[in-house]
Amino acid sequence: MSVLAPGRNLVLVGLMGAGKTTVGSMLGRRLQRPFVDTDAELEQVLGSRIAELFDTIGERRFRALESERVRHAAALRGQVIAVGGGALLDPGNVTHLRGTGDLILLDAVPAELATRILSEDGGASRPLLAGAADPESRLAALRAQREEIYEAAASHAIDTTGKTPEQVADEVLAWAVLVPGLLTRDEARA
């Protein structure tokens, strides 16, 4: 690889509330890489919030549009990417993301995921939690359903329970520096 070639994408995956967006934007700043949040891009392109999209076009259509954004993001290198928690349910998305990047799973115990999400906006932006009498149990169920898919796709997992976003970002970088081709020489030295 040329020294000028961009590194592979650093892709953050995991359940809602895992910190993908917060940690991803922090990593983007630290590495001076563009940060792409595929959910935020989708909202921008369609001019509608995710929760509204679930209501207006339904989850099936949302997933198709999400896959388009994910593949669009995976077409370039040298980025930090965060994908929505359900993006890896489409095996094609996993193939595309792994083609140009390395996937890191951010995890946390359901109680902490629920606390983070509820403290953000009471869960209003998470349609999969809508109507859930007990968000923690709903998150525990989603985690059990998806665990195997997340673990198979990711090259590395970080338990973020009880950690600050800074600590998680430090752990991501400590791992990334050891992965051939993920960071450029300049990024690895910084």
Q: How far apart are CA 173 and CA 10, in angstroms?
A: 10
State in angstroms the smallest separation of the CB of 15 from ligand S3P. 6
For 30, the 3-state DSSP assignment is helix
Q: How far apart (Å, rounded) are the C-alpha atoms in residues 155 and 145? A: 19
Provide the sign of the torsion angle of the four alpha carbons 74, 30, 183, 113, taken in this order.
negative
Cβ nearer to ligand S3P, comparing 38 with 100: 38
Q: For binding to ligand S3P (CB under 6 A), which residues are involved?
A: 16, 20, 39, 50, 84-86, 126-128
In this structure, the strands spanning 9-13 and 80-82 are parallel
CB of 52 to ligand S3P, least distance (A): 11
Question: How near is the Cβ of 103 to ligand S3P at its closest, in Å?
Answer: 14
CB of 91 to ligand S3P, least distance (A): 15
Q: Which is nearer to ligand S3P, 7 or 19 (CB)?
A: 19
The residue (of 20 and 163) whose beta carbon lies closer to ligand S3P is 20
C-beta closer to ligand S3P: residue 128 or 182: 128
